[in-house]
């Protein structure tokens, strides 16, 4: 990574999460963008909202979070994205994601593409690639990226093995959680793979992937590259909800790595930040 250019571009969904207690700004790439900014890395998000009241509220709220809105467009073709969020007694989260919405119609923007070309890293996930239009735009940006970071972030039913394989073929950093790794492992092998076997099989199958970040909730986190295996235990905290915890982990790790920290320091810091976020309500709490 080029440490002289301390900025990151995130691509994908921005939305309103409808929680039982009220509405909150959400979207995994937006959460990553927020936490990167909080950790000293200038970041912007490429996305779209509808030209409607919720879109106005979302656009304004994103600005209030300190996230640059230059590459967030408004459209009359689609409504702003909303999601029904359900949290069980253990703090686990499930989502009902409406479609089609504004970020399903993301069009290529030459100014955003130039920003991608100049950025240190480009962060993307699976969900925003569910539509043909946004998927095509994503691949055009990926062709311009210096270092691509793929947060698998599976949201059923908006994924397929073919799509995820294609996206994995475009990244250098892969971030998965333990549930997502199990899904990938069943696709990779007819026999059951251990965690390390699954990570190594991914590295063997996708030669462009240079490193894998694995989050395992209460079991901590793992970093695997072609030369290193590092495991860090979780922090014991009282969980309020896990919304955005994985996003903050990715952002904190990237921030420290871009700033020149060792992998161990970056991983330990990422675990600490994500543990803090899990003790707070919502994905983007103040620090």
What residues does each domain of the chain span? 7-278
User: Residue 146 has what pLDDT?
Assistant: 97
Residue with tokens 């069943």: 186
Determine the average pLDDT of the residues in 23-32: 94
Q: Check pLDDT > 50 for residue 2.
A: no
Per-residue pLDDT tens over the stretch 191-233: 999 999 999 999 999 999 999 999 999 999 999 999 999 999 9
Determine the average pLDDT of the residues in 34-40: 97
Q: How confident is the model at residue 6 (pLDDT cuts 50, 70, 90)?
A: low
Residue of 64, 53, 85 lying closest to 243 (CA atoms): 85
Q: Which is more confidently placed, 18 or 201?
A: 201
User: Residue 207 has what pLDDT?
Assistant: 97
Determine the average pLDDT of the residues in 37-56: 97
Please, what is the average pLDDT of the chain?
Answer: 94
User: Residue 29 has what pLDDT?
Assistant: 98
DSSP code at position 79: P
User: Residue 254 has what pLDDT?
Assistant: 98
Question: Hey, which bits of the chain come out as E strands?
Answer: 7-11, 15-19, 22-26, 42-50, 72-75, 82-87, 93-97, 121-125, 148-151, 173-177, 211-215, 221-225, 229-232
Determine the average pLDDT of the residues in 228-255: 94
Q: Which is more confidently placed, 88 or 176?
A: 176
DSSP-derived 3-state class of residue 155: coil
DSSP-derived 3-state class of residue 82: strand
Asked if 238 contacts 229 with a C-beta cutoff of 8 angstroms, the reply is: no
User: Residue 96 has what pLDDT?
Assistant: 86
Residue with tokens 């790794």: 181
Asked if 10 contacts 32 with a C-beta cutoff of 8 angstroms, the reply is: yes
User: Residue 80 has what pLDDT?
Assistant: 97
User: Residue 103 has what pLDDT?
Assistant: 98
CA gap 14, 286 in Å, rounded: 19
Q: Check pLDDT > 70 for residue 4.
A: no
User: How many Å from the N-terminal Cα to the C-terminal Cα in the chain?
Assistant: 27
CA gap 81, 85 in Å, rounded: 13
Whole-number percent of the chain with pLDDT over 90: 85
Determine the average pLDDT of the residues in 249-272: 98
Per-residue pLDDT tens over the stretch 117-139: 999 999 999 999 999 999 999 99
User: What is the biggest distance separating any 2 CA atoms in the chain, rounded to whole angstroms?
Assistant: 51
User: Residue 93 has what pLDDT?
Assistant: 72
CATH domain 7-278 topology: 3.40.1190
Residue with tokens 């803090």: 276
Q: How confident is the model at residue 57 (pLDDT cuts 50, 70, 90)?
A: very high
């Amino acid at each position: 990574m080029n440490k002289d250019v301390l900025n990151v571009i995130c691509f994908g969904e921005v939305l309103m999460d409808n929680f039982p207690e009220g509405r909150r700004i959400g979207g995994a790439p937006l959460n990553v963008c927020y936490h990167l900014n909080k950790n000293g890395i200038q970041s912007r998000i490429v996305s779209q909202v509808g030209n409607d009241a919720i879109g106005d509220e979302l656009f304004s709220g994103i600005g209030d979070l300190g996230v640059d809105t230059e590459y967030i467009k408004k459209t009359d073709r689609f409504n702003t994205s909303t999601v029904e969020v359900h949290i069980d007694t253990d703090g686990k989260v499930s989502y009902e994601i409406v479609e089609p919405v504004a970020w399903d119609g993301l069009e290529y923007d030459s100014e955003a593409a130039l920003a991608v070309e100049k950025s240190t890293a480009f962060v993307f996930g699976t969900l925003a690639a569910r539509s043909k239009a946004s998927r095509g735009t994503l691949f055009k940006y990926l062709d311009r990226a210096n270092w691509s970071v793929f947060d698998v972030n599976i949201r059923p039913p908006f994924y397929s093995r073919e799509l995820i394989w294609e996206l994995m073929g475009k990244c250098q950093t892969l971030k998965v959680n333990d549930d997502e790794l199990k899904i990938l492992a069943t696709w990779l092998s007819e026999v059951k793979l251990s965690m390390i076997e699954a990570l190594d099989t991914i590295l063997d199958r996708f030669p462009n992937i240079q490193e894998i970040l694995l989050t395992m909730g209460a079991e901590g986190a793992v970093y695997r590259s072609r030369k290193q295996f590092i495991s860090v235990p979780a922090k014991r905290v009282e969980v309020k909800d896990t919304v955005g915890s994985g996003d903050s982990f990715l952002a904190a790790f990237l921030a420290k790595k871009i700033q020149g920290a060792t992998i161990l320091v970056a991983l330990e810091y990422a675990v600490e930040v994500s543990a803090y976020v899990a003790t707070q309500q919502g994905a983007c709490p103040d620090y």
